[in-house]
Structure 1
Amino acid sequence: MVSMVTANTSGPRPYGGVDAADRQASRRARLLAAGLDMLGAEPAEIAEVTVRGICREAGLTARYFYESFADKDELVSAVFDAVIADLAAKTRSVVNSAPADQQTHAGISNIVRTIAGDTRIGRLLFGAHLSNAVVVRKRAESSALLAMLSGQHAGAVLRLPANDRIKAAGHFVVGGVAQTISAWLTGEVQFTPERLIEHLTALLDRLGNPNLYRD
C-alpha cells in the first residue's frame, strides 16, 4: 500500500524517456518556432496570426497551446522577446569582445549577418509589411538591440556626460539603422550584406566625433 501511495504522489511519469516538464518545454519551443514562421513570412504569405493557425503550423492541438500561453498575443510577445533577446545578447557579446575602434562594425555585422541568415528575424524586427499590433508595440518599446550603437554607447566611449545631444543621437541611430535595414529587406536598398555592413558602419562612425555632443 505504501508503495502505491508513493507512486501516485510522485508526479507525472516520464513518457518515452522524457519527463513532463521537458515535454512541455519542447511543445512551447515548437509553438514559438511556428509563431516566428508566421510572423516572419514573406510579405505575400503573411496571414493573420490565430491560435488555430499556430497550432496547425506547430502540429499541436489547442490544448497544448493553452498550457503555455493565455492567448495569441502572449505568444506573439514571447516570440518577439525571445528573438530580440537572443540577437541583443549575441550582438553585445561581439561588441564587447572587439577593440574599441571596431565595436560599431562588429555590432552591425552581427545584426546584418544574422538577418541575412534568417530573414524571418529581419521581417519580425524590421519588416515594413508586418502590422501585427503586438509587434508594432514591442518594436516601439524595445531599443535594446541597438543600444550599444546608440547615444548611450557614444557617451560611454567618448566619456561625456549625458545630455540631449547624446539622446538625440541615440534616437537617430536606432531609427536610422532600423529604417535602412527595413529598406534593404524590401529590396529598395540593393546592397550585399557586406556592403550594407560597411555603409552603416561608416555612417555610424561619423557619430564618434565628440564635438557633436558638446553644448
Structure 2
Amino acid sequence: MTQVRPYGGVEARERIAQRRNRLLEAGLELLCGTDDAGELTVRAICRQAGLSARYFYESFTDKDELVAAVFDWVIADIATTTQAAVSAARPKAQSRAGMANIVRTIAGDPRIGRLLFSSHLANAVLARKRVEAGALMATLSGQQAIESLGVRDNDRVKATAHFVVGGVVQTISAWLAGDVDLEPDQLVDQLAATLDALADPVLYVQPIE
C-alpha cells in the first residue's frame, strides 16, 4: 500500500484537516461576513480559502454539505465553551455564566451571531440546522432542569425548555437587529434573571387529576 509522506514536516492527515478548517472559515466569512452576503458558490469559497477546487471536494461533496459543516463547527464550539463556563460557576451563577459566554462570543465575532440568529440569512440548509439545534438545545435544557431542580420529566418541563430556547433565540435576534437597545452586560443580566425566575420546581409539578 502506498504511503503518503509528510510534506514540510506536516502529516497528510493534518494537512487535510488544515485545508478543511480554511474552507470552513471561508464559508463562515462568505455566509456571514456581512448582512448582505452574496451567493455562495464553490468557486467563491475556494477563492476565499486560497485553495483549488480539488481540495474543496477532498472534504465536501457540495456547498450544502459545507454550510452544514460550518454550522456544526460553530455550534459545537459555542456549546463546549458555554458548558465549561456553566460547570465552572456556582449553582446560583450558572445562568449568568452561560448567557455571558454566548453573548460575549457573538459580540466578539458578529459572523457567529448572524449564523445562529440573523433573520436576514435565507439559506435553506441553515434554516434546517437551526431547527435541529433548537430541538437539541431544548432537550438539553430540559435535562438540566430535571437534574438541577430534582423534578420528574414531564410535558411541563418540555414546554418550559422550548420556551427558554425560543425566548433566548428571539431576544438575541432582536438585540442583534437593534430592536433591543441594551449593552452586552445588561442583556446578559436580563436573560439570566429571566432564566432564574423559571427555576421554581413548582412550575414543573404535574397536578394530580
The two structures have a TM-score, normalised by structure 1, of 0.90
- 2:19 paired with 1:24: no
Tell me the distance in 2 between the aligned counterparts of 1:51 and 1:111.
Answer: 30
Report the equivalent of 1:94. Answer: 85
> Where does residue 196 of structure 1 map in the other structure?
187
Correspondence for 1:134: 125
Q: Which has the larger radius of gyration?
A: 1
1:104-143 alignment runs, 5 A limit:
104-143=95-134
Matches within 5 A, 1:9-20: 11-20=3-12
Aligned residues: 205
Per-residue Cα deviation, 1:173-206 (whole angstroms, up to 9, x for no partner): 0000001111111111111110000010111111
Q: How does 1:37-186 map to 2 (within 5 A)?
A: 37-44=29-36, 46-143=37-134, 144=136, 150-186=141-177
Letter in 2 for 1:48: E
1:95–1:103 CA contact under 8 A, matched in 2 = yes
Amino acid at match of 1:31: L
Which structure 1 residue ranges, 5 or more long, are not aligned?
A: 1-8
Query: Aligned equivalents of 1:162 and 1:192: distance in 2?
Result: 36
Q: Report deviation, 1:10.
A: 5.0
Would you say the 8 A contact 1:87–1:145 is kept in 2?
no
SS in structure 1 at match of 2:59: coil
Aligned-partner Cα distance in 2 for 1:76–1:187? 26
1:155 Cα shift?
2.1
Distance 1:110 1:146 in 2: 18
Query: How far apart in 1 are the matches of 2:20 and 2:179?
Result: 36
- State the alpha-carbon separation in 2 of the partners of residues 152 and 198 from structure 1: 23
What's the CA shift string for 1:128-153, capped at 9, x where partnerless?
Answer: 111111110000011345765x3332
- Work out whether residues 139 and 158 of structure 2, in 8 Å CA contact, stay in contact via their aligned partners in 1: no
**How large is the Cα RMSD of the aligned pairs?**
1.5
Q: Deviations over 1:10-42 (max 9, x none)?
A: 522322222322221111110000011112222
Contact 1:88 1:145 in 2 (8 A): no
- AA in 1 matched with 2:197: R
C-alpha contact 1:40 1:121 (8 A) present in aligned 2: yes
When normalised by structure 2's length, the TM-score is: 0.93
Q: Which runs of 5+ in 2 are unaligned?
A: none
